[in-house]
A and B are shown apart, each in its own frame.
Chain A
Amino acid sequence: MQESTFSIQMNGKEYRVEPGQTILDVAQTQDYFVPSVCYHPNLGSIQTCDTCFVNVNGQLVRACTTKAEPGMKVDTLSKPIQDAQYEAMSRILKNHELYCTVCDNNNGNCVVHNTVEHMELEHQAYDFTPKPYPPDTSHPFYRYEPDQCILCGRCVEACQDLQVNETLRIDWTREVPRVIWDDDVPIDQSSCVSCGHCVTVCPCNALMEKSMLGEAGYLTNIPPKVLEPMIDLTKEVEPGYREIFAISEVEASMRKSRIKKTKTVCTYCGVGCSFEVWTKDRHILKIEPQAEAPVNGISTCVKGKWGWDFINSEERITKPLIRKGEEFIEATWDEALDLIASKFKDMKEKNGPDSLAYIASSKCSNEENFVFQKFSRAVMGSNNVDNCSRYCQSPATTGLMRTVGYGGDSGTMKDIEKSELIIIVGANPAESHPVLATRIKRSHKLYGQKLIVAEIRKHELAERADLYLHPKPSTDLVWLSAVTKYILDQGWEDKEFLQNRVNDVEAYKQSLEKFTLEYAEEITGLTKDELIRTAEMIHEAKSACVLWAMGITQHIGGSDNSTAISNLLLVTGNYGRPGTGAYPLRGHNNVQGACDYGTMPAWFPGYEPVQDQQVRERYEKAWGVSLSVEPGMNNHQMVEGIHDGKIKAMYLFGEDMGIVDSNSNHVHAAFDKLEFFVVQEVFFSKTAQFADVILPAAPSLEKDGTFTNTERRIQRFHKVFEPLGDCKPDWQIFQELANRLGANWNYQHPSEIMDEAASLATIFAGVSYDRLEGWDSQVWPVQKDGTDTPLLYEEKFAFPDGKARLYSVDWTPPYEAGEEFDLHLNNGRILEHFHEGNLTYRSEGLTHKVPHPWLDISEELAKERGLEDGALVRLTSPYGEVKVRVMVTDRVIGNELYLTMNSSEDHEAVNRLTSSYHDTITHTPNYKEMGVKMEVLEPTGEPPLPKVNHRFGNRVPQISVKVEEKWKRSDFTPIQDLFEVKEDYYGESDSAN
């Protein structure tokens, strides 16, 4: 299929060209400068700026849209071309005042500035004309200044077709066009989800982060009274732009000495966006994503772009704290660590090593998880170590390990992007994995990707879906199995794939006997037509991916649900090819990595069983100790162990277990019973309130390390700030404690920990910091030579015989709370806050957008109970009660409720209601199976969701910026009409290039 390269002539020279390259691509690879103000590699051609006109075979054409063809003759340098480009740039400068030296965007990366400079423009043909609109500063995080806006439409393209939130447009119909939000409302009141795409792609200072204004430059904080006459004066006397630019260049390079740019990896979900953090001392100027970032390019969500204020919060714990009576007293590190060491030692000697338990953090680095499990296993002698994947994704891991071998996504975002069919079950990516959702929305909007969403709440992707399924809660396994059976019955299965690559096919087929369409209809409430349509869409698609999350896993049958998904993919041959596979969407930045690097009771790093003698001996040899043979307790068993008196002490870091574990009353009662409890945290969390010693940890911005995202991609993050106060990186704390217990560790840097992990765990053999420089990343398994594996199972599945296994499962009916608990309670995250909001409530802007949790209730239920927005209700389950205010919405129907989890207040937290029932295999709590009753406390009240929230906005979908409307304007003359070019005319070449 690969077409061969061909050659074209550019400025009189021959160049080899790849098929599909545009003239602009070719010019850029050959270092010919062609201005291209509106073009952005992540957005493509927008065709508004008109600066990239070149002469191709005697025609004036846009370099950004014209594909190179064999034998083409291109001229980018001659006088008529320069004149045409000058005309286009002058039109841009009519809309943009060049006051670069006093502009906060003068940081060496301003596209307009750099283009003017590169074109060696001395003057502009048309005077700058301000627009008749004031700046819009209503939004808490960014502002729009129409006077500086060049109307290139990058922001619109990013909003409409990359983020696909469909908020921004350019209104070409008014006399002076401008960018508008929704139907021209203030930004803060629009459907804007504050993802920051528009600000990031703005080629000048029209859209700016408020955190930059008056902060970035040396001269940008001048009061307007002085600044305006200064600009006037400069314009009046300027001899030409070259001299002015010389000054702004000097100023820009002076900024480099005080603005620090550090690459980091976002910690707000499992997608793994990476970006630069721009800082001045401890002030965050902005988050600056780069096109090179392997997962997200220039994409971010509201939390990643703006949610970092917590780093300087006054509320951070900055000193070790020791409980004395009814209060915590500040202590030195020596006091705190000596106390912990002596307690741990005594308790281990008195009650045995397994009387202590260790809870790791999916928010902390791979290296920290590695060192923590080493601490638990090698220093303390126990496998009682687990992490919070137990609360979310362990069932998915189980489902995949049963069927295909590796507990991770089978491909990357690239596969999700290019798949013909995406099926999302029990997940809300637009809010919980926003940047991943943008790729689906883009492919669906622009490239004909099909979308099936099965979900009890009609969230954004459900609204966009080609087929939306609303099964009864907790019945997904039934419809998944019925669809699989129907596909087999129709003979639509991938016979060759099953024959060559899958075991246990016949036994599995037999296990499906009961899953007839009729049975599925009865159990799930879906119609036969819906089930058949689902099967047909899967059959018709050449490639399909299934994405799922907590809606599948947090059930009594969570592991079986996940298994059913993988079975369906195997039957249809949707593994091991680009655009296919299973994608359990990891909820925290390092859920994948915490499991990968061994903070699990039964697994060493790299999923090698602790019971395997060979594996154990490898670790025993490396660490010089003998290790426990028996798998340890998981989180759930630890809580029960405390109640039973088996566990006496616990060491927990970076996990607010007191909020996030289900049935929190039961968990709190367990914490009460602990004889000794150490909590290592950034903030004084709910869990920390139960501690005997609290250790102040440093968050990701204050340390070095790596995270592994949902794609299995290992990415490096770098220290932005020194730790605040006496805070320390978690790995250092573990090391200091371990050495007090005789470990004699000497890690100087996290890279040394990674080297040790890579030397021990086979799947990470070739992982090293040298290969993770800059934007480089590695997707495990990584061979010794550094070859990584973005797409799994192309050749074989991860079992000894290389074949996948169809694994028969049956449906487990959900927990029933009892008849009096007549409403079904669903719950989960929202876009604006991370989890319970411990970090994100420290941001004034995020709190402005969402100040409280709320309860979604259906219109029918509101009518029946006489409720409206803002009513206060009490929800009671057999396990506890909460009091929250309601929002009436069509996102939920009938007796189904949705309680958002953004609260750490006892009386609002959803886990006051949930039970201790759990997935039978992994002990993941059944958070999504609860019945409640509702009492009305106040029928009216202040709505919990303010009017400035994007959920009240009105999206205005369109494709791109509608440049055709610009071209139709009476005041627009096409550049092509003004300048004449001839074939074979290359003029005098410009030696400056």
Chain B
Amino acid sequence: MAKAIRQINKSVPTEEELQLQAISDIMKAIGENRDAIVTSLDILKNLQDLGVLQAVQGLLEQRVDVATIALKQINQPAMHNTIKNAFNAIKFLGTVKPEQLQLILQGLGQGLERTSENNQQQEHQSLWKMSKSLRDPDVKASLSTALEFLQGMGEVFNNEGKTLH
């Protein structure tokens, strides 16, 4: 003979029981990951000593405000240029053949060295000496490379505006 009843006696765990359960779960996890946790604590200690943790804490607590300020700073024409230029520079580097760049950079280095030596001597070459040095095979090689370079650059300038989109 069972009448309909609605009463359920649920053993709802108390706050303390929940906490005890949580602590026991945590202790178990700690026990299982002893080495990782000890290492992490070492790292944390160093970060604490350096003041890094406090800084990160401040950043995280104020993350929306910080992000807003940061974005405001970044959202400036100069910063846009910087980022765009960075993208372009990276893209450019991707297109250059490493051997070529290496050669040119080596040449650049040596050229700079000579320039600074020349500057120290404070001596300016006469026109005659300059035209004579055009016969120097090193100067010739460098000049003809520069001319090729100028031609390539000109091609891009002249093509600009002709693209469809």
Contact = CB atoms under 8 A, between A and B. Distances in A.
A233 B75 contact: yes
Best-buried of B1, B5, B64 by chain A (most CB within 10 Å): B5
Interface residues of A, number: 37
Given A223-B64, A328-B9, A691 B2 contact: yes
B90 to A, nearest CB: 9
A542 to B, nearest CB: 56
Contact of B7 (A233, A326, A674): A326
A230 B7 CA distance: 54
Nearest to A125: B165
Interface string A672-685: 11110100000010
A170 B68 CA distance: 37
A236 interface: yes
A233 B74 CA distance: 8
A223 B71 CA distance: 13
A309 interface: no
Contact of A237 (B3, B11, B72, B84): B84
A690 B1 CA distance: 9
Interface in B52-96: 64, 67-68, 71-72, 74-75, 80, 83-84, 87-88, 91
B68 A671 contact: no
B interface residue count range (under 10 / 10 to 19 / 20 to 34 / 35 or more) = 20 to 34
B4 interface: yes
Contacts of A225: 64, 68
A239 B7 contact: no
B6 interface: yes
B164 interface: yes
Contacts of B75: 229, 232-233, 236
Given A230-B71, A233-B75, A239 B5 contact: no
Contact of A329 (B9, B74, B164): B9
B71 A239 contact: no
B108 to A, nearest CB: 27
Contact of B71 (A233, A330, A671): A233
Contacts of B8: 321, 327-328, 330, 684
Nearest to B7: A327
Contacts, number: 74
Contacts of B164: 83
B10 interface: yes
Contacts of B3: 672, 690
Interface in A74-95: 83, 86
A225 B95 CA distance: 38
A470 B3 CA distance: 43
B84 A226 contact: no
B67 A226 contact: yes
A432 B5 CA distance: 32
B88 A239 contact: yes
A577 interface: no
B66 to A, nearest CB: 9
Given A123-B165, A223-B64, A226-B68, A668 B4 contact: yes
Interface string A313-353: 00000010101001111100000000000000000000000
Contacts of B71: 226, 229-230, 233
B10 A330 contact: yes
Contacts of B67: 226
A528 interface: no
Contacts of A327: 5, 7-9
Contacts of A223: 64
A323 B2 contact: yes
Nearest to B71: A229
Interface in A921-963: none
A674 B2 contact: yes
A226 B2 contact: no
A326 B5 CA distance: 7
B138 to A, nearest CB: 39
Nearest 9 CB-CB pairs, A to B? Answer: A689-B4, A327-B7, A229-B71, A237-B83, A239-B87, A226-B67, A328-B8, A327-B9, A329-B9
Interface of B: 1-11, 64, 67-68, 71-72, 74-75, 80, 83-84, 87-88, 91, 164-165
Given A86-B165, A123-B165, A677-B2, 5 more contacts: A233-B75, A327-B8, A330-B9, A671-B2, A689-B4
30 contacts: A86-B165, A123-B165, A225-B68, A226-B71, A229-B68, A233-B80, A236-B75, A236-B80, A237-B80, A237-B84, A237-B87, A239-B87, A239-B88, A239-B91, A243-B87, A323-B2, A323-B5, A326-B5, A327-B7, A328-B5, A328-B7, A328-B8, A330-B10, A658-B4, A671-B2, A672-B1, A672-B3, A674-B2, A684-B6, A684-B8
